[in-house]
Chains A and B, each alone.
Chain A
Amino acid sequence: MSSMIKPYGDTMNDGKVQLSFTLPVEWSEAADEAARQLVTKMGFTDVQVVEGRRIGAGFSLFVVYASTPQSIDISTIKAPSAKTASMSMEEIDAYVQEHLGRKIRVAGACIGTDAHTVGIDAILNMKGYKGDYGLERYQGFEAFNLGSQIAVEDFVRYAKEHRIDALLASQVVTQKGSDIKNFTALVELLEAEGLRDRVVLICGGPRVTNLMASELGYDAGFGRGTLPSEVAAFIATTLVARLAAAR
């Protein structure tokens, strides 16, 4: 079977996609036609504008179905996941006890001006997420949740002063690339302070991917739906591997 794939509507390789967008123009039949031609210019074929209407003065909303002639070879795609080791809290605690013999110190924060702690809370707080306990509950971890709006400088100072093993930086707000700026600022400051190699550095947030994280210089990135145990397993196994390499 070919590893080339296309979007699937109701028939293999029909390439069907749905799009919706707003154009800054009053609705008219010409606006519908403009939407159709625009989607055609995007490279789609068999373009059908199934809905077009005015949504306020000077703006129209469109819903469009179309086919794409493009396909992708799935066998060439690389997006390594950080969610490798599947371990329960008890297994991770036992693993930490056996291989490290001390608690792993983890600090997490929403860095920059981001005030949305839902992600970092899900990973660190006792309660956890989807029935998976947060790191505060682990025997093998000592977790410090610094909360929201933590300046990168303060986060790095905290890491230094509290001998933190793993840093979790969270960003929910992504407007105008603020997440990338803050993530980058954190890596750069850690490098400038000579701390980068001494911590397991992790970023998280609904828009974060592991690929993006590695490009930014992080050890791992965790996106939407991540369970605390997945993060805990990554930290524990990474720390142990580093220790073994250093011996």
Chain B
Amino acid sequence: MELRIDQNTVDRCRALASAIAEPVSAFIEAHSTVAVERSVLRLLGVDGVGADEIPIPNMLVDALSPQERSRGAALAFGKALAETGLEPRALGEAIAAGTYALADFAHVPDEAARGAIAPHVEASLARIRARRAEREERLRRLPQLPPPLLYVIVASGNIYEDRTAAVAAVESGAQIIAVIRSTGQSLLDFVPYGPTTEGFGGTYATQANFSIMREALDEVSEREGRYVMLTNYASGLCMPEIASMAALERLDMLLNDSMYGILFRDINMKRTFVDQHFSRMLNAYAGIIINTGEDNYLTTADAVEQAPAVLASQFINEEFAHRAGMPDEQIGLGDAYEINPDLQDGFLYQVAQAQLTRQIFPKAPLKYMPPTKHMTGDIFKGHLMDAMFNLTSVMTKQSIHLVGMLTEAIHTPFLGDRALSIENARYVMNTARHFGDEITFKPDGVIEKRAQNVLADASALLERVAEMGLMNAIEAAVFADVSRSPDGGRGFDGVFARAPEYWNPFEAALRQAQGDTAQAQGDTAGARGDAVGTGSSRVILSLSKDGLK
């Protein structure tokens, strides 16, 4: 089942995406953010909260003068480490308690700071490597069921209730559990601390909550004989901090988009571009699969009209991920089944888009999102729409399948809703497992023409974005009909230029590791592959093969 599409246009799109990302990369390299600096401190081992429940990483970064901050938090913190001889966590707590101030150590030479930090950087990266190795070992011992991998959300607000729901969902057949965050969390400029039992529309992402859910899923993975993956959201103002916590707690996937927060949460674009880059470097190292958020374009604007924008955004997301060192196998590009159900032949368009994405990004673990926009209180019709979505997913070999809930428009899913929806997906995917291998598309038929048009329009759109520049294009509402200005939005005051002496020890080490891997793999290693047609269970497993040493 292959669509005939013009490979030259695909290549042109990739070249344009690269041209679009280039000036943004230059900006990223010259800047850092408070969230990046906080995540450096977290990776060093700083944790806990001080007075008024303010996280210690925030207290430390907020206390830096603009000059100190522009050199990176690691230097100032390293100086204190060198002089006090404390462990990072204890030092953070001592500063929070007022025993010391980072400014007290300004006289310590930079070299001493670098020396004091180095062993902690190595220890932290070793811990991340160990968590990655644990995942690889478990995936070998407890193989996943074949994709599309069934992904369900839990969102009670209470991590302990979430744990119950997650285990029940796994027992019904779920293969990936996502803990949806409390609705406001993306706008918080700090990460809450400790286990939490109250949230709205979701549960706070905290390191303790990550650990509680990981433990529960590991337990049920052993019982079921298959590894269950855990997902959270590295988006919003704390994107890199969430990525660092996820790396330390062995999450397997993270929502991590290069533009989602800009468009849908009005987070400043410069903040987002800098934050997504460091987050993705960490994700690449930790072996975490990212999920991008193109599905959101379709919920706010018309799905038929927005199809080229979705594809264009996938190319841009892929390019930014490559630039952060991510291999294709970790880039879970997003798409969604959101065409108006009243549209005649809407299913044909859905198949065209899903198959087009599959062919253009053959190694990517594509994330396919269910209908949400056109779901109503009519759960019976909703269940049918989900079945059509399930069919599209299995026939086009999507990788990560977000199970649609019949009660989507009503409430966060009940335990029974999840069971019914998983059963729907299992039924459809089993009964139509090899359907896609048995059929061919009518040459120049509705589906093939539609795919060709979407690709051509995406290419034209990328030409336009390349000409305008990405930041201007976002301001001109090219994506999702939403306009954002380069210096507007939340979190802009947390973006700052790097001084010439700026130092982020993790960035340096991760870049070094990426260089080593690329060299070890030789010229064929490029993040981009030319293999066609995947969709076997190896898609997910293969990421574990050539881990960064």
Q: Residues of A contacting B420 with CB < 8 Å?
A: 61
Q: Residues of A contacting B157 with CB < 8 Å?
A: 175-176
B482 to chain A, nearest CB (A): 9
B200 touches A113 (CB 8 A): yes
B206 to chain A, nearest CB (A): 17
- Among B63-71, B180-188, B361-369, the stretch that binds chain A is B180-188
Answer whether A55 and B419 are a contact pair too, CB < 8 Å, given A115-B264, A173-B200, A175-B201: yes
A125 to B482, CA, bound (A): 11
B411 at the interface (CB under 8 A from A): yes
A149 touches B171 (CB 8 A): no
Answer whether A174 and B411 are a contact pair too, CB < 8 Å, given A55-B172, A113-B182: yes
A57 at the interface (CB under 8 A from B): yes
User: Chain B: which residue is nearest A177 at the CB level?
Assistant: B200
Answer whether A61 and B300 are a contact pair too, CB < 8 Å, given A56-B171, A149-B187: no
B416 touches A20 (CB 8 A): yes
A56 touches B200 (CB 8 A): no
A27 to chain B, nearest CB (A): 12
Answer whether A59 and B415 are a contact pair too, CB < 8 Å, given A114-B183, A118-B373: yes
Answer whether A56 and B168 are a contact pair too, CB < 8 Å, given A113-B182, A206-B377: yes
Q: Residues of B contacting A20 with CB < 8 Å?
A: 416
> For the complex, would chain A's binding face be called helix, strand, loop or mixed by DSSP majority?
loop
User: Chain B: which residue is nearest A24 at the CB level?
Assistant: B415
Residue-wise, chain A 21-59 has the 8 Å CB interface mask toward B (1 for contact) of 110000000000000000000000000000000011111
A7 at the interface (CB under 8 A from B): no
A175 to B411, CA, bound (A): 7
Answer whether A118 and B299 are a contact pair too, CB < 8 Å, given A113-B200, A149-B184, A173-B201: yes
Q: Residues of B contacting A55 with CB < 8 Å?
A: 168, 171-172, 415-416, 419
B200 touches A178 (CB 8 A): yes
A115 touches B171 (CB 8 A): no
Answer whether A22 and B415 are a contact pair too, CB < 8 Å, given A113-B200, A173-B183, A178-B200: yes
A230 at the interface (CB under 8 A from B): no
Residue-wise, chain A 134-161 has the 8 Å CB interface mask toward B (1 for contact) of 0000000000000111000000000000
B237 to chain A, nearest CB (A): 12
B530 to chain A, nearest CB (A): 39
A201 to B493, CA, bound (A): 35
User: Chain A: which residue is nearest B423 at the CB level?
Assistant: A55
B183 touches A61 (CB 8 A): no
B169 at the interface (CB under 8 A from A): yes
Q: Residues of B contacting A22 with CB < 8 Å?
A: 414-416, 419
B471 at the interface (CB under 8 A from A): no
B2 at the interface (CB under 8 A from A): no
B416 touches A176 (CB 8 A): no
Residue-wise, chain A 47-78 has the 8 Å CB interface mask toward B (1 for contact) of 00000000111110100000000000000000
A-B contact count (CB 8 A): 80
A137 to chain B, nearest CB (A): 14
User: Chain B: which residue is nearest A53 at the CB level?
Assistant: B419
B184 touches A113 (CB 8 A): yes
Q: Residues of A contacting B183 with CB < 8 Å?
A: 113-115, 149, 173
Most buried by A among B167, B299, B416, B420: B416
A231 to B265, CA, bound (A): 26
B412 at the interface (CB under 8 A from A): yes
B172 touches A56 (CB 8 A): yes
A127 at the interface (CB under 8 A from B): yes
A219 to chain B, nearest CB (A): 25
Interface residues on B, range: 20 to 34
B168 touches A59 (CB 8 A): yes
Interface residues on A, range: 20 to 34
A121 at the interface (CB under 8 A from B): yes
| B residues 195-214 in Cβ contact with A at 8 Å | 200-201
B481 to chain A, nearest CB (A): 8
B189 at the interface (CB under 8 A from A): no
B457 at the interface (CB under 8 A from A): no
Most buried by A among B169, B183, B373, B409: B183
Residue-wise, chain A 164-203 has the 8 Å CB interface mask toward B (1 for contact) of 0000000001111010000000000000000000000000
B300 touches A121 (CB 8 A): yes
A162 at the interface (CB under 8 A from B): no
A103 to B300, CA, bound (A): 27
Q: Which of B170, B266, B302 contacts A127 (CB 8 A)?
A: B302
A176 touches B167 (CB 8 A): no
A56 touches B412 (CB 8 A): no
B430 at the interface (CB under 8 A from A): no
Answer whether A206 and B409 are a contact pair too, CB < 8 Å, given A55-B415, A55-B419, A61-B419: yes
User: Chain B: which residue is nearest A115 at the CB level?
Assistant: B183
A225 to B376, CA, bound (A): 9
Residue-wise, chain B 282-316 has the 8 Å CB interface mask toward A (1 for contact) of 00000000000000000111100000000000000
A175 to B481, CA, bound (A): 29
A224 at the interface (CB under 8 A from B): yes
Q: Residues of B contacting A176 with CB < 8 Å?
A: 157, 200
A210 at the interface (CB under 8 A from B): no
Q: Residues of B contacting A121 with CB < 8 Å?
A: 300
User: Chain A: which residue is nearest B422 at the CB level?
Assistant: A55
Known: A56-B169, A117-B300, A175-B157. 11 other contacts (CB 8 A): A55-B171, A56-B167, A56-B170, A57-B171, A61-B420, A113-B182, A115-B186, A175-B201, A175-B411, A175-B412, A206-B409
Binding site for B on A (CB under 8 A): 20-22, 55-59, 61, 113-115, 117-118, 121, 125, 127, 147-149, 173-176, 178, 206, 224-225
7 contacts between A and B (CB under 8 A): A22-B419, A55-B171, A56-B167, A56-B168, A56-B169, A173-B201, A225-B376
